[in-house]
A = this chain, B = another copy of it.
Amino acid sequence: MTAPAGTASRIDALRQTVEQALDRALPSRSVWPATIHEAVRYSLFAGGKRIRPLLTLAAGEAVGGHAADVMPLACAVEMIHTYSLIHDDLPAMDDDDLRRGKPTCHKVFGEAIAILAGDALLTRAFHHMAALPAGESAAIAVRRLRAIQVLGEACGTSGLIGGQVMDLQSEGKAVDATELEGIHRAKTGALLSACVRGGAVLGGASAADEDRLSGYASAVGLAFQIVDDILDATEGAEQLGKTAGKDAAREKATYVRIHGLERSRAMARDLLSAALAALGPFGARATLLSELARLIVERRA
């Protein structure tokens, strides 16, 4: 499966639409109390690649949905991703000074505001999902509620938060391959899966289509984390925009540490193949999803 010419520029155009939607979804910097909105926007508009919103929109497209129906979740998942980065970077957690090539939120605004900025993004994500335009049908409300449930599950203690807890607790300990996969499925995979599943729900997917996309989401989610580990081990801070070699320094469990570099690369390639195979039944409507899987596995930062 080769991406048709023009897919890359479609992704760029969609990314622009996401930027604009995110901008509209949040209070401006000048709204009182200004500090918190400055901090929220500092981290949300720090040059993220918007992989999660793109996956969400692409899943909606694969099931024949309208982009406008899916966009609220596309914005919400990026808010949640950003909240998790802000909180993970805090001194009490991973204690990181650099993120996407810029000082982390707490380095610029202080710890108290950084904690609150994360809280604000998490809150806004759910609030934004619940904001239904006047005159929207009850059927759309039901889909929104289901998407909120998918999102909430992914962000909770069996997903994003649970993964961070396990990650913190695994530092300096021997972690086997099964435990490592469990950590990553929770910490990274759950939210990526929620993008795909939630995008499908808002796009009006059948139960069968939702199931089919779960296979794709699961493979892409794991591949994403393996590539992350490979990049941490092989790229410099300048390229990554964050502290490099950090995993090894903190003795964190990583794929590279457990499986070695070459085996990790092979695993990522196999997962890409599995993801693309799961998209077969969707034909051309899944062009974006397949291109995004490729972007995720072949990325350099």
Contacts and interface: CB of A to CB of B under 8 A. Distances in A.
A255 B294 CA distance: 59
Contacts of A115: 87, 90, 92-93, 115
Interface of A: 27, 31-33, 35-37, 40, 83, 87, 90, 92-93, 110-113, 115-116, 118-120, 122-124, 126-132, 138-139, 141-142, 144-146, 148-149, 151-153, 155-158, 161-162, 164-166, 168-169
Contacts of A32: 162
Contact of A127 (B120, B130, B149, B166): B149
A153 to B, nearest CB: 6
A35 to B, nearest CB: 6
Nearest to A80: B123
18 contacts: A27-B157, A33-B162, A35-B169, A37-B157, A87-B115, A87-B116, A90-B115, A93-B115, A112-B168, A116-B165, A122-B122, A124-B152, A124-B156, A127-B152, A127-B156, A138-B139, A141-B142, A141-B145
Report whether over half of chain A's contact residues are helix, strand or loop; otherwise say mixed. helix
Nearest to A166: B33
Contact of A145 (B130, B161, B164): B130
B36 A120 contact: no
Contact of A119 (B113, B161, B166): B161
A36 B142 CA distance: 31
Residue in A33, A90, A122, A124 whose Cβ sees the most chain B Cβ within 10 Å: A33
Contacts of A110: 92
A134 to B, nearest CB: 12
A123 B120 contact: no
A155 B110 CA distance: 21
Contacts of A120: 156-157, 161
A130 B149 contact: yes
A-B pairs with lowest CB-CB distance, top 5: A127-B152, A92-B111, A138-B138, A130-B148, A126-B126
